[in-house]
Structure 1
Amino acid sequence: MATNHVDTPQQARTKSSSKTAVLYRMSMPDHLCPYGLKSKSLLKREGYEVEDHLLETRAQTDDYKREHHVETTPQTYIQGERIGGYSDLKKYFGYKVREEGDTSYTPVIAIFSATALMALALVFSLYDGFSVVTWAKWFLAISMVVLAIQKLQDVEGFVNGFLGYDLLARRYVPYGYAYPFAELYTGVGMMALIGSQSWAIWMVAPVGIAIGAVGAASVIKAVYFDKRELTCACVGGGSTVPLGFISLSENLAMLGMGFGMLGAFVAG
């Protein structure tokens, strides 16, 4: 149920029972608070009946915050206790809440899971039988393209992170701006040339070898020699992915793909 009446904290304590929660959230014509909806959904999933108080105007929201001595909405009360906002509610139920500055591998897990499936779909669609080698080539090429797109969404943010460890970019800043385009060019070129014996391989593979070699050397120096704890710019600006194995793998993959394509061309 929903009501516009704003109770006092004492009234909220009286109404709250073991499986009933009192929720105050903004629901205005021009702004429906997403955290309020998330709080309501979480409470229902945890088996609570929600007494849902809607704050439908800015004045009503400001009055509630002033009278209840809180700075934000939504606010949840359970058993007479003010739990707080959505993050506080998640903590109350034992869910892990990511704090500012926490590192996370979620972005790379999402990217590589999706690109692995895309590569699998392409192999089954374009070839008569499944080959792990062919799948790996498509997987690496598609991953390079997707990682380049991540960087191109915020080139300035990417460069800010990249300058923290890349050896060439720290000596020549424009290289940092060129890197996402070079990675995109290499990934698209490799996708176009998988299984090909075209001379165009010589236009693509050396670029992958060059940026892969510099990148691998930079990561190895920063992480394994200098022992620096940095975030990886591999998935773009604002990344919380730790610099290390993931970024090194990205660069080694470009290096390996480049040499592999040249080797196949020469052997063919």
Structure 2
Amino acid sequence: MTHTYSIQGMTCGGCKASVEKHLSTLDDITSVDVNLELGKVEIGMKNHIPTNVLKNALPKKFTLSEATVKAESGNIFKVSEEEQLTKLQQLKPLFLIFGFIALMTIAINYNSWNSADAMLDFMGLFYFVFSLFKFFDLKGFSQSFAMYDPLAKVLPAYGKIYPFIELTLGICLLARVQISVVLIVTILILGVTTIGVLRSLLSKQTIQCACLGTVLKLPMTQATFIENAIMIIMATVLLVKNFVL
């Protein structure tokens, strides 16, 4: 029988080789076929192996969940409970972080509300928080980022310095330094990333979103596109309203 699983955390050929190596050591496994782009692995087995056994055989950076179980007879068995998690449940950390950033923005501007200042503060806090998670694993982030960002694919060094760029932009926004330049840079870098995200969504690739680094394993979904779009829209509105007209 052949079992098909989803795997998150793979970012390169080395990850693919690692998954194949560790799974192949288990008894009753006859074949291991990893698809890096789709984040899938097909495992041929003599006898059924519980999903938790497969998980324990892999390094902790990889998250394995059962997608479909297909026997040679063609029968399809039910997916695991973990795989049945809704997108909302999977993206709970992202929504919580967005919510906390929004609450901090409201608290900072509560006594003297100004929409332009509030948007600048929101964007600054966004860059601060999101860059923080990337700094926990700079190497892992750059590898994950290169899976979908067009510029990071061509220039690996870009992925390595990207968290520093985000941190710098956050500081400038909160300190109100070179705002027009920061807004233009925001539109450019997030515009490039959004193109990569859109391509990944359209191709239905199962890859890990690098927006919060590798600490929180988030799947690439429409929420990633919306997150970038919000920042681009804010930057465009501020640029047109305050620094062009």
What is the one-letter code of the residue matched to 1:208?
T
- Percent identity of equivalent pairs: 30
- 1:139 corresponding residue in structure 2: 122
Size of the aligned set, in residue pairs, is 162
Secondary structure at the counterpart of residue 231 of structure 2: helix
Q: Deviations over 1:20-41 (max 9, x none)?
A: xxxxxxxxxxxxxxxxxxxxxx
1:181 equivalent to 2:180? Answer no
Equivalence for 1:114: 100
Residue 215 (structure 1) aligned with residue 201 (structure 2): no
TM-score with structure 1 length normalisation?
0.53
Maintained 8 Å contact 2:180/2:243: no
Q: 1:67-216 residue pairs with structure 2 within 5 A?
A: 104-125=90-111, 127=112, 130=113, 134-193=117-176, 200-216=178-194
| 8 Å Cα contact 2:201-2:222 kept in structure 1 | no
Distance (Å, rounded) in 2 between the aligned partners of 1:191 and 1:164: 31
- Deviating above 3 A after TM superposition, structure 1's stretches of 4 or more consecutive aligned residues are 130-137
Deviation at 1:261, TM superposition (A): 3.1
1:159, 1:176 within 8 Å by CA — same for their partners in 2? yes
- 1:239 aligned partner, one-letter code: L
Q: Is the 8 A contact 1:222 1:228 kept in 2?
A: yes
Following the alignment from structure 1 to structure 2, what is the Cα–Cα distance between the partners of residues 114 and 98? 27
Separation in structure 1 between the aligned mates of residue 119 and residue 181 of structure 2, nearest angstrom? 21
Residue 214 of structure 1 and its aligned partner are, at CA, apart by 0.5
Report the CA distance between 1:136 and its aligned residue: 4.1
* Aligned equivalent of 2:217: 240
Once the 2 structures are TM-superposed, how far is the Cα of residue 132 of structure 1 from its aligned partner? 5.5
Contact 1:201–1:261 (CA<8 Å) still a contact in 2? no
Corresponding position of 1:85: none
Whole-Å Cα distance in 1 between the matches of residues 239 and 118 of structure 2?
18
Distance 1:122 1:192 in 2: 14
* CA distance in structure 1 between the partners assigned to 2:193 and 2:158 by the alignment: 12
Using the TM superposition, give the Cα deviation of residue 188 of structure 1 relative to its aligned residue in structure 2, in angstroms. Answer: 2.3
Q: CA RMSD of the aligned region, Å? A: 2.7
Query: d(CA) in 1 for partners of 2:154 and 2:147?
Result: 11
CA–CA separation in structure 1 for the residues paired with 2:94 and 2:213: 11
5+ unaligned residues in a row in structure 2: which ranges? Answer: 1-80
One-letter code aligned to 2:235: G
**Residue 237 of structure 2 corresponds to which residue in structure 1?**
260
For residues 55-74 of structure 1, the aligned pairs below 5 Å read none
Change beyond 3 A, Cα 1:214–1:187: same
Contact 2:128 2:171 in 1 (8 A): yes
Distance, in Å, in 2 between the alignment partners of 1:212 and 1:155 is 19
Q: Which amino acid aligns with 2:104?
A: M
Higher relative contact order (CA 8 A, sep 6+): 2
CA distance in 2, matches of 1:251, 1:222: 14
| Larger Cα-atom Rg | 1
- Tell whether the 8 Å contact from 2:146 to 2:152 is kept in structure 1 after alignment: yes
Stretches of structure 1 that go unaligned for 5 or more consecutive residues are 1-96
Give 1:180 deviation, angstroms: 1.2
